Amino acid sequence: MALWRIIREAAVRFPDRIAVSVGEQHITYTQLDDLVERVAAGLRFQGLGESDRVITFLGNTIEHLGLLLGCFRAGLVAVPLAPWSIPAQIRHAVRSSGARGIVAPTATLRAVFEGHEELRPEVMVTVGDLNPPPPVLPWEIIEAGPGQSPTEPDPRLDHLAMIVYTSGTTNRPKAVIHTQNRMARRALAFADDTGLTSEDVAFVAAGICRPMILLGQIMPMCRAGGRCVMIESPKPGLFWSAYKSRPPKTYVMTGTGTTDALFANPAARDADHSALRLWIAGGDIVPKGLHGRFRETTGRDLVEMSGMTETGFFAINPLSGPVRPGSCGRLMRGVEIRLLGPDGHEAPAGEAGEIAIRSNDLMFGYWNDTAETFRVLREGWLHTGDLARIDDDGFLWHLGRAQNIINRGGRRISPTIIEQALSHHPAITRAVVVPAPDTASGQVPFAFMTLRAGHDRPDEAGLKAWLADQLDTCSMPEGFAYIDEWPLTYHGKLDRARLTWIAANGGEPF
């Protein structure tokens, strides 16, 4: 099924139900389907053809959702960028994707293309400006849907749908290609596996430019006929104010770092969580302390999930019954996994290895990067670069990225083992371990920690004494620092690169 058909079917089944709300703006499923059809016609009327790339640089708005879905309906390829991207990043996306269209605020278009006129796509559209400078078109022309509706893409074929730039926290950003049918299968399976219904209200705080949100909240809710309430960002003040407003929210999905920041805010305790049915966190390992704070605040378990831009979701904790804090959960439907040792063969049962994943819904490849595609995708298996182990009950335990492993004089040390040991200290709510340079050993572990409220800071000697019977000598951190606020990337993930820089410069957080 093409991704846009989920909206068409919802319009038939739930014509007058509210599909999306943004503040006081509401749109029903019938209206959303009509918007998608008009936007598709408007984009094609401007001369954009099948598989042409269109960069979108907007936030969580109904216009942006209509634009993404309109691209899918028209057979175009959406290239959504995070609304905090800087001009240099947008110019890189224009160059590397070969975009023929861009939709962004007028000020952004000016900042991106002044002095770089040769990069201007043929079709430039702005939102919120009825009289933009030529040749920029106002959004209202696209939204009016001039011309005829485009011919529906051949349903027997899969079609390119999105190019998504990875966050680049571990390497340079890559342009990941997704197709319509693969994305639709992910969204439909997720809707079924989570048991979403037309009575659910999804609270959408992270950007719809991310597949995690588009395929984990927006499209599954459309499949179920529920309602999405969108806000512009998950900043704690805005988030909790909107969360408390009507209608009551039943389903939330946020990154681990964002979830941690939200539940460190006192407003979390003042909110009414009685309607909440499901809150999923992913992107990083969820610390034990966050699991405890979440349950104490909401009365429910925080559901941990794992996925990648390249793979989609591949593991999730049970939605009913006890979760296993720190575990990614069990494999999702249709996913196969291998854990590979350094020699490329499967690691012995119970031992750690690099995660390789196979499913029908992996990425198609990296845009204009055949060599990297060939390196990562081999014989149908996607090699993730993540390390994990699987316990006897089939639960996956993430051990970090292979490139985050600390090489101490030839000994390979997993930061996760040290982090888990520190997080059990009664005064520590969270620990993150990164490599610090060392003249003798090359690298040594350095630990950052947050202090539990009401506790005194344990000193280095006390921490080492606590760890002595849990870690071997080689794994013992050589430095410790307390941190009040974890640095996050724009995608709400822990910024390990920033912490590594801090560790290399003496360990003072600010």
What does the pLDDT read at residue 249? 98
Place of tokens 């079924």: 192
What does the pLDDT read at residue 50? 93
Span 234-401 CATH architecture: 3-Layer(aba) Sandwich (3.40)
Average pLDDT over residues 189-193: 93
The DSSP line for 200-262 is -EEEE-S-TTSHHHIIIIIHHHHHHT-EEEE-S---HHHHHHHHHSSSPP-EEEEEHHHHHHH
- In angstroms, rounded to a whole number, what is the distance separating the alpha carbons of residues 197 and 347? 41
DSSP lists the bridge partners of residue 378 as 381
- In angstroms, rounded to a whole number, what is the distance separating the alpha carbons of residues 307 and 311? 6
Radius of gyration of the chain (CA): 23
Q: Are the beta carbons of 226 and 197 closer than 8 angstroms?
A: yes
Q: Taking each helix axis as running N to C, give the angle between helix 288-298 and helix 256-263, from 0 to 180 degrees, rounded to the nearest 10.
A: 50
pTM over 0.75: yes
Least confident of 235-249, 276-290, 328-342: 276-290
Q: How far apart are the first and last CA of the chain?
A: 50
502's CB contacts (< 8 A; 6+ apart) are 448, 481, 508, 509
DSSP reduced 3-state for 378: strand
Q: What angle do CA 387, 390, 394 make, to 5 degrees?
A: 145
Domain ranges of the chain: 5-13+25-179, 234-401, 405-504
Average pLDDT over residues 440-451: 90
* Of the candidates 489, 188, 492, the residue with the CA atom closest to the CA atom of residue 313: 188
How far is CA 134 from each of CA 44, 103, 254, rounded to the nearest angstrom? 19, 14, 39
What does the pLDDT read at residue 177? 97
Residue 52 has pLDDT above 60, yes or no: yes
DSSP state of 316: E
Residue 342 has pLDDT above 90, yes or no: no
Place of tokens 């009365």: 299
85-136 per-position pLDDT tens digit: 889 889 999 999 999 999 999 999 999 999 999 999 999 999 999 999 999 9
Least confident of 229-243, 397-411, 437-451, 471-485: 397-411
The DSSP line for 53-117 is EEEE---S-HHHHHHHHHHHHHT-EEEE--TT--HHHHHHHHHHHT-SEEE--HHHHHHHHTT-G
Domains 5-13+25-179 and 234-401 agree in fold: yes
* pLDDT range class, residue 167, cuts 50, 70, 90: low
* Of the candidates 481, 477, 402, 403, the residue with the CA atom closest to the CA atom of residue 441: 477
- In angstroms, rounded to a whole number, what is the distance separating the alpha carbons of residues 175 and 225? 32
How far is CA 414 from each of CA 192, 338, 399, 404, rounded to the nearest angstrom? 36, 19, 7, 8
Average pLDDT over residues 455-459: 94
What does the pLDDT read at residue 169? 45
Residue 506 has pLDDT above 90, yes or no: no
What does the pLDDT read at residue 24? 95
Average pLDDT over residues 146-173: 81
* pLDDT range class, residue 282, cuts 50, 70, 90: confident
DSSP reduced 3-state for 170: coil
What does the pLDDT read at residue 417? 84
Average pLDDT over residues 368-395: 93
What does the pLDDT read at residue 438? 85
What does the pLDDT read at residue 71? 97
39's CB contacts (< 8 A; 6+ apart) are 66, 67, 69, 70, 71, 73, 74, 142, 143, 145
* pLDDT range class, residue 469, cuts 50, 70, 90: confident
Amino acid at 419: E
Query: What are the b/e assignments for 138-157, b being 16+ CB within 10 Å?
Result: bbeebbebeeeebeebeeee
What does the pLDDT read at residue 491? 66
Higher pLDDT, 508 or 361: 361
198-243 per-position pLDDT tens digit: 999 999 999 999 999 999 999 999 999 999 999 999 999 999 999 9
Does the structural domain 5-13+25-179 have CATH classification 3.40.50.12780?
Answer: yes
Residue 403 has pLDDT above 60, yes or no: yes
- In angstroms, rounded to a whole number, what is the distance separating the alpha carbons of residues 421 and 433? 11
* Of the candidates 228, 223, 271, 159, the residue with the CA atom closest to the CA atom of residue 21: 228
The CATH superfamily of 405-504 is ANL, C-terminal domain (3.30.300.30)
Residue 168 has pLDDT above 70, yes or no: no
What does the pLDDT read at residue 170? 46
Place of tokens 């001009």: 87
54-81 per-position pLDDT tens digit: 999 999 999 999 999 999 999 999 999 9
Residue 267 has pLDDT above 60, yes or no: yes
Average pLDDT over residues 456-483: 92
- In angstroms, rounded to a whole number, what is the distance separating the alpha carbons of residues 77 and 405? 37
